[in-house]
Amino acid sequence: MKGTNLGELEELVMLTVAMLFDDAYGVAIQKAIKEKCNRSISISTVHAVLYRLDEKGYVTSRYDGSSPERGGRRKHLFRVTMAGQKVLEQTRSMRNDIWDAIPKVAFE
């Protein structure tokens, strides 16, 4: 297992995978990130992040659902694992803790 810390892009991709639930594959994730965050990420980068997450055990994947535009090829679909969910929650609570600890005067 590589380090448990999540990179910013990794977190973003994982959240998107969770959002898309059962239809999370390369192109769909790229589009969702473009829509939600207005960030252009190349398709190869999306794939690279997904496989890295797979290696870390935060997502699982399966092949399903072909379409003619894909030349009859199936989609490589991803889903967040329990471990992934846990690490996401951890990251979020860690952030929340820090947010809570910010004294009011800091952001005035």
Partner 1 sequence: MKGPAFINWLLERFCDPRLLEGIQGDLEEKLHERAAQTGRFKAKLLYAFQALGFMRLKFLRKNSKSNFHMVNHYFTSAVRSIKKQRVFSAIHIFGLATSMTLCLLMILFYMDQRGMDKHNEHYETTYRVISTEYNENRDRDDRLARSPYDIPDRLKGNFDQIETTSRLRNVRSEVRLQSKVIEFSGLFAESNFFSFFGFELQSGNEPTALQHPNSIVLSEELASKVFGENDPTGQLIEIGEMGSFQVTGVSKELSGRSHVQFDALLSMTSQEPQTTWTGKDAYYNYFRASQVDPTSIEGFLATLRPLYPNDLQAGRGFEVQRLSDINFGTIVRYEIGFVTPNFVFWFLAILAAVIMLSACFNYIGLSIAQSLKRAKEIGIRKIMGAGKKSVIFQFLIEAQVTVLVSWVIAIALLMVLLPIFNDLKVLRDIQGQIDISVWSNASLLLYFLGFAVFIGLIAGGYPSWYVGKVAFQQSLKKSGKKAPGIVLRKSLVLIQYIASVVFIITAIVVSRQSNHFFEMEYGFEKEHLASIEIKDAPYEALRNELLKQSNITSVSLSSSLPALEVVPRIEVRLTENSEPRPVSTFSVNQDFLNNFDISLTMGENFRKGQKPNQKVAMINAAMAQELSLSAAHQLPMTLKSKSGPIKIIGVVEDFKYQFLFVESGPLLLTYEPEKFQYLNIKYANLENHEAEEIIAANWREFDKIHPFEISHYDYEIDDIYAEFEDIAKIVGLIASLAIIIACIGQFGMILHHVELKTKEVGVRKVLGSGVPQLVVLLSRSFYGLIVISLLIGGPAAWFLNKAWTSSIGYAVEVDWTIVTLGIVMVVALASISILWLTVKAANTNPVKTLRYE
- CB 50, CB 26: distance < 8 Å: yes
Q: Shortest Cβ distance from residue 71 to partner 1 (Å)?
A: 5
Minimum separation from the CB atom of position 23 to partner 1 (A) = 13
DSSP β-ladder status, 74-80 and 59-66: antiparallel
Which segments of the chain are extended strands (E)? 59-66, 74-80
Minimum CB separation of residue 48 from partner 1 in Å reads 5
Q: Which is nearer to partner 1, 56 or 75 (CB)?
A: 75
- Residues composing the chain: 108
Between 39 and 92, whose beta carbon lies closer to partner 1? 39
Residue closer to partner 1 by CB (options 41, 91) is 41
Query: Tokens at residue 47, please?
Result: 């794939």
Q: Which residues bind partner 1 (CB under 8 A)?
A: 25-27, 42-45, 47-48, 51-52, 63, 66-67, 69-71, 73-76
Q: Which lies closer to partner 1 via its Cβ, residue 4 or residue 65?
A: 65
- Owner of token pair 């870390």: 56
